[in-house]
A and B are shown apart, each in its own frame.
Chain A
């Protein structure tokens, strides 16, 4: 594989395309490609063509630690994480074809951000007993994420339990876990009040327009929307999510299985950033609460 990539580089000249690479090759090139989801505030997004967001900031810190320049490999999300890892970390997307340079390597991220860190997921097997995610290494947890409801305090006094959504409309991102939860839990009693939007920001905008009384999404997304709105009318709820499967999960990174060494080196950098409080600072600069991933909560710091 490496030989093939080399050969392509030699015969065609360096075209600046980014296949995922060995640690030494990354260092030698002076550039690291950080994979981040497109248009996904507050994690990764663009303002006037400039990449922003917590994942981008962490990517910058990783690049700096190695004395490299960071370039963003923008990821258009597919239907699930397996697809995103295949398209962006180890294989490349089948539509990524270069007509003028058909032997060019596919565009991949050296390191992909915002990949859940979950042993059960990493070691999941298919019905043939084979590892599903054997092509990637999932490593470097840097944040714990969970679900959060925000509400319009002029419509609802408080949200003590989700039972209020039997009576009040709530907005969710379509085809998300909050969508499944609100349309199927408790015999579907909240179903008729569940309104669907293409993104969390659209759901929040609908709350601001008075169309729904609350929104449910990931904590950082909701914190970000509340910060952006800058209006005390929109508040964070304190309810739990009874009988909801996964209430919290950890976020880390992924590299291709072939480039494990790169992962190890990045892991060391991110651990330092967590322990010296750098990551928490990044989160607070975006008005987001920060929770340490389980690995750091369980082990004494």
Chain B
């Protein structure tokens, strides 16, 4: 380990500039827009701004994948293991990958040798919710940009790892942090914010990628003013939702939650950012009658102005912690001889939605998990038909100081699907959805304390629904809502999916396997154990005529933080922190 000094640690090898004899070119807007087609690099989160996680590469395919083997493994080292949820990026022979505790590494893609690393120095007393993970960087020009647990955006020199600019997006003391990968749209860095139940307000923001200057900010709770910067001046840019108090009681909109903790995707076709929002605060729905906009929603935002074009709320008046942050992926399909401009998302609440991406209209929705108890279905506009008996109890019902009545809600609050991104194959026209089958018992817990004060906690325990699996990777047909195939996994799935023109689907499991499936049938074609659980998202690219696949390994994230019966299934899993890279042997 190198000696660290100063406020951050950088180890730079100047050799970075001529790795593997490839000359480094700066990343342009065009590179990002065409990322899905340009197979020699990965310069966006999701292998293209739409986040389809589909690659046209086919050298590794259902016939050849059995020969695939690791070529190098790179360890993040140190004491700082915990969950590794990053998606690596690749440009001109260099991989840029983040690790737990807000670290960034640049690695030679041919040898796995470290070129530089950056360790964000985190302040004392920071309390990020839900583990110390990071989901990856954005690349633009000669910069590597990422968000930190203390809610800053940091731009590093891609060649040296030295800080070029740094901006505070929100105050960590108020409970904000950043774990999502930022996205780049037409020279702007777009980021959201994470935060717990401390009364934060979600927002999306755009910064000039080259300078870090703020361009606009858009709060995601009805009633808050948005701003845009014109010639360096902060100008009012319209209140989100028009005015306060329409879908919130009292002053609760001021601290309404709706954190944008997973960032989003971008649809170049309609020039829209698709950003999801978290659950409303406070947690207990009986305290805030109303739809509580724009919590648990998908927002289409104009990247040029920061205005909300449309919204679709998956769980109005959420009472189960069903965040609406999951990625909305743009795709086209043919119906009756016409092209439908659609977008799909698989929500925490167990329903998958297909929307018209030009206006947010509901096209169809269907369950993608075997059991849903909180709602009986969706109505014609996609609004849930609640099963009111399954709404966690009113705090005033525990006023006698006794434990409130328990509700068994399915899915559990960790969701039918959580943050882990699904993939869409342009060949099979199927979505590959990493899902989990679990429920939760939830009740009001009066025997609770907070900061020396009596408190009313939410007691909960997450329970598997079957003996033999929680995780299910599903191939879903977005046109019919039918499941085409499934793979069941003993422990919950928590990593992203990749699909390729080689008729393959890849996902990592908490048991440590990188698995490859036949995209049409679900037959397991490949598996390799990486030594720790996988909760990151695989990528693929081509270099010197060979196809490579990389995935980050390192068990952690939100699942091990929650106990109950699920803990029993995962407690033997070991932590780690490494990147594995695979290819076919040279014939």
Contact = CB atoms under 8 A, between A and B. Distances in A.
A192 B250 contact: yes
Contacts, number: 149
B25 interface: no
Given A80-B450, A245-B398, A188 B249 contact: yes
B456 interface: yes
A290 B9 CA distance: 51
Contact of B452 (A183, A185, A218, A245): A218
Interface in A56-103: 74, 76-81, 84, 94-95, 97, 99-100, 102
Most-contacted residue by chain A among B254, B400, B448 (CB, 10 A): B448
A194 B251 contact: yes
B360 interface: no
Contact of A177 (B129, B255, B455, B564): B455
B447 A77 contact: no
Interface in B356-403: 394-396, 398-401
Contacts of B451: 37, 40, 77, 84, 114
B165 to A, nearest CB: 24
A246 B564 contact: no
B197 A196 contact: no
Interface stretch (A120-128, A222-230, A266-274, A275-283): A120-128
A195 interface: yes
Contact of A114 (B281, B452, B455): B452
Interface residues of A, number: 56
A193 B174 CA distance: 24
A118 B401 CA distance: 13
Nearest to B441: A127
Contact of B78 (A102, A128, A196): A102
Contacts of B569: none
Interface string A166-201: 000000001111011101111110011111101000
B79 interface: yes
A198 to B, nearest CB: 7
Given A176-B455, A184-B395, A193 B127 contact: no
Nearest to A218: B453
Interface residues of B, number: 57
Contacts of A263: none
B432 to A, nearest CB: 32
Given A114-B452, A191-B249, A245-B400, A78 B127 contact: yes
Interface in B231-289: 249-252, 254-255, 281-282, 284, 286-289
B62 to A, nearest CB: 42
Given A38-B125, A188-B289, A243-B396, A100 B198 contact: no
Contact of B4 (A99, A188, A251): A99
Given A126-B461, A127-B441, A245 B454 contact: yes
A163 interface: no
B199 A245 contact: no
Given A97-B80, A124-B447, A185-B399, A80 B457 contact: yes
A296 interface: no
Contact of B82 (A38, A94, A100): A94
B448 A195 contact: no
A81 B456 CA distance: 12
A124 B459 CA distance: 12
A152 interface: no
A234 interface: no
A176 B101 contact: no
A126 B563 CA distance: 9
A215 B147 CA distance: 38
Given A38-B125, A188-B249, A198 B452 contact: no
Contacts of B333: none
Contacts of A74: 125
Nearest to A96: B124
Contact of B287 (A84, A183, A246): A183
Contacts of B196: 79
Given A126-B564, A188-B249, A249 B448 contact: no
A70 to B, nearest CB: 19
B446 interface: yes
* Residue of A76, A94, A180 with most partner-chain B CB within 10 A: A180
B448 A80 contact: yes
B122 interface: yes
A221 B549 CA distance: 58
A116 interface: yes
B439 to A, nearest CB: 13
A177 B399 contact: no
Contacts of A126: 461, 563-564
B528 interface: no
Interface string B126-150: 1111001000000000000000000
Given A94-B132, A175-B282, A195 B250 contact: yes
A156 interface: no
Please indicate which of the listed interface residues A79, A121, A185 has the most CB atoms of chain B within 10 Å of its own CB.
A79
B449 A80 contact: yes
Nearest to A247: B454
A192 B565 CA distance: 40
A298 B132 CA distance: 47
Interface string A25-57: 000000000000110100100000000000000
Nearest to A198: B199
A145 interface: yes
Interface string B172-199: 0010000000000000000000001111
A97 B4 CA distance: 14
A181 B399 CA distance: 9
A7 interface: no
A193 B126 CA distance: 32
A109 to B, nearest CB: 14
Given A77-B451, A176-B453, A183-B252, A245 B446 contact: yes
Given A174-B198, A185-B399, A37 B250 contact: no
Given A145-B453, A185-B399, A244-B399, A120 B441 contact: no
A245 B401 contact: yes
B456 A118 contact: no
Contacts of A191: 249-250, 287
A194 B255 CA distance: 13
Nearest to B287: A183
A126 B122 CA distance: 34
Nearest to B173: A76
Contact of B250 (A97, A193, A251): A193
A38 B127 CA distance: 13
A40 B453 CA distance: 12
Interface in B446-480: 446-457, 461
Given A81-B448, A185-B396, A175 B198 contact: yes
Contacts of B400: 243, 245
Contacts of A77: 450-451
Contacts of B448: 80-81, 121
A188 B397 CA distance: 12
A116 B250 contact: no
> Which 10 A-B pairs rank lowest in CB-CB distance, beginning with the nearest?
A246-B454, A76-B125, A114-B452, A183-B287, A243-B399, A81-B449, A174-B199, A245-B401, A77-B451, A184-B396
11 contacts: A38-B125, A95-B101, A102-B78, A115-B452, A120-B447, A127-B565, A174-B282, A179-B287, A196-B199, A218-B452, A246-B401
Given A174-B199, A194-B250, A195-B250, 6 more contacts: A79-B196, A79-B197, A184-B284, A184-B396, A191-B249, A191-B250
Interface of B: 4, 9, 78-80, 82, 101, 119, 122, 125-129, 132, 174, 196-199, 249-252, 254-255, 281-282, 284, 286-289, 394-396, 398-401, 441, 446-457, 461, 563-565
